[in-house]
Amino acid sequence: MTLVDLTFEDSIALVRLNRPDRLNALSDALLAELESTLDRIAVSPCRAIVVTGAGRAFCVGADLPEVLDRLDGAQEEILAFVRRAGNLFSRLENSPLPVIAAVNGHAVAGGFELVLAADLVIAAEGALLGDGHVRYGMLPGGGGAVRIERKLPANVARRLLFTGDLEPAERFHTWGLVEEVVPARGLLDAAFALAHRFTAHSALALAEVKRVSNAARDLPTAEALRLEYDTFAAYLESPDLRAGLTTFRERKRGSE
């Protein structure tokens, strides 16, 4: 049995963490399969990614028994694991493709960090999300403490980090992290419906918009505006722009 299932539907890649007996806890083997899965997606013609979990959980983070076994004498292995997970989350965040997290159940610790790396989040009713690290005397290491304050109001982010509380998807919807909360049986339908809205547009335009938006968060306003302008100037040479404007002109003529 594979630990990560990859299927393609139309131009959308569905990535399913497939370790339901361990609530899709992250292990070295699962991370390795996730890396190879992203490699396959990178050379495919797909236009969007949907990430979900098998069974009743999205992902509950690292496999803590494995971490505990390595605590005495194998701390370098723990650091390598956390670094590997963080690099994977960054790879998803920086993918030129739109990434949707379809949260089917608990998303905790590393699983929550994975959610934070997605561009958009659709969640099933009743799903619980949260950082959770401090519950076990741990710290985020895969980007959670950084991304949470970029995705949520600062006071909410700090409370979640300091308490380790898990909150229902409905609350995360009011805070803006979750785009939509739907019945569990309709979760993937909702995620795919949203993804299809992306795939109808220029892949290059979406990739450039995402690249500028990601980079701008870490730049002073003047530099961010320059990056946006320079990207637009380079995009003027793109055949995608010409094709889009030609389509607009033809539609306008057709409506006259």
Two tokens, residue 137: 């005397």
Q: Does domain 203-255 have CATH number 1.10.12?
A: yes
Chain-centroid distance, C-alpha 100: 6
Three-state SS for 15? strand
Map out the domains of the chain as residue ranges.
4-199, 203-255
Q: What Cα–Cα distance (Å) separates residue 251 from each residue in 158, 236, 254?
A: 49, 21, 5
CB atoms within 10 A of CB 228: 17
Residue 252, pLDDT score: 55
The CATH label, of 3.50.50.60, 3.40.50.2300, 3.40.50.920, 3.90.226.10, for the domain at 4-199 is 3.90.226.10
Q: What Cα–Cα distance (Å) separates residue 94 from each residue in 91, 98, 100, 212, 214?
A: 5, 9, 13, 11, 8
20 contact partners, CB below 8 Å, separation of at least 6: 53, 54, 55, 56, 57
Three-state SS for 78? helix
Residue 70, pLDDT score: 76
- Contact between residue 106 and residue 126 where contact means Cβ atoms under 8 Å apart: no
Residue 249, pLDDT score: 61
Instruction: Give the DSSP letter string of 223-235.
Output: HHHHHHHHHHHHH
Kindly give the confidence (pLDDT) of every residue in the chain, 256 residues in length, as a single tens digit, with 9 standing for 90 and above.
899 999 999 899 999 999 999 999 999 999 999 999 999 999 999 999 999 999 999 999 988 777 777 777 778 888 888 999 999 999 999 999 999 999 999 999 999 999 999 999 999 999 999 999 998 888 898 999 999 999 999 999 999 999 999 999 999 999 999 999 999 999 999 999 999 999 888 888 899 999 999 999 889 999 999 999 999 898 888 887 777 666 666 665 556 5
